[in-house]
Amino acid sequence: MEIEKCKVLIDEGAIARRVTELAEEISAAYEGKKLLLVCVLKGAVIFASDLMRRLKIPVEIDFIAVSSYGTDTVSSGVVRILKDLDSSIKDKDVLIVEDIVDTGLTLKYLCKNLLSRQPHSLKVVTLLDKPARRLVEYVPDYCGFEIPDHFVIGYGLDFNEDYRQLPGVCIYNP
């Protein structure tokens, strides 16, 4: 792996501290309830598993896969479901777990789609938010870090499927 192409933007320790804070905030907000995490594959899988282990409330997890990008660094604007949830979310308290909000197209679509399935509540947590890149208005309910407009990899995020295992979030400079 060509590590020299990466500059660390958010290191492992900073991520761990922020994930703990988010978990505390979310645990307090959903106290007395059971939460269903909807992890958006593949990028959010590491964030979701770290967040889940820090939550202090009963929690379930399900997975959905959507496509919003081709194999390039530019959003295609096309969103479709590649793998749907295994179970119904009707009447459940649902929290979508994302790694990054960029144009906002994926979450705009996902929220509309999941709301049509009549959950009791629907909110979104994202580790990263890149508001400078928005094409549609979208504000996540919980956000780990707002970042500038760099292409980032690591902690689940990829470039052409590589680099997801990097412990921190890094800026990709080919």
Strand boundaries in the chain, DSSP class E: 6-10, 35-41, 59-69, 75-83, 93-101, 121-129, 142-146, 152-153, 169-172
Q: Given 93, 99, 102, 129, which residue is catalytic? A: 102
Cross-strand partners of 152: 171
Which of 50, 93, 102, 129 lies at the binding interface for ligand PRP (CB under 6 A)? 102
Query: Cβ 21 to ligand PRP, closest distance in Å?
Result: 21
Between residues 57 and 61, which has the closer beta carbon with respect to ligand PRP? 61
Size of the site for ligand PRP (CB under 6 A): 18
Among the listed residues 82, 88, 80, the one whose alpha carbon sits nearest the alpha carbon of residue 62: 88
The answer to whether 102 is a known catalytic residue is yes
Q: Is 97 in the site for ligand PRP (CB under 6 A)?
A: no
DSSP letter (8 states) at residue 141: S
For tokens 């052409």, the residue is: 160
- Share in percent of the chain as helix, strand, coil (round to 5): 25, 35, 35
Query: Cβ 163 to ligand PRP, closest distance in Å?
Result: 10
Instruction: From 11-19, 22-30, 39-47, 141-149, give the range in contact with ligand PRP by CB under 6 A.
Output: 39-47
Q: Is 11 in the site for ligand PRP (CB under 6 A)?
A: no
Residue nearest to ligand PRP (CB): 43
Token duo for residue 111: 């929220």
Instruction: From 8-16, 35-43, 55-63, 88-96, give the range in contact with ligand PRP by CB under 6 A.
Output: 35-43
Q: Is 99 in the site for ligand PRP (CB under 6 A)?
A: yes
Residue 27 sits at the vertex; the CA angle it makes with 153 and 41, to the nearest 5 degrees, is: 30
List contacts with ligand PRP (CB under 6 A).
40-43, 67-69, 75, 98-106, 158
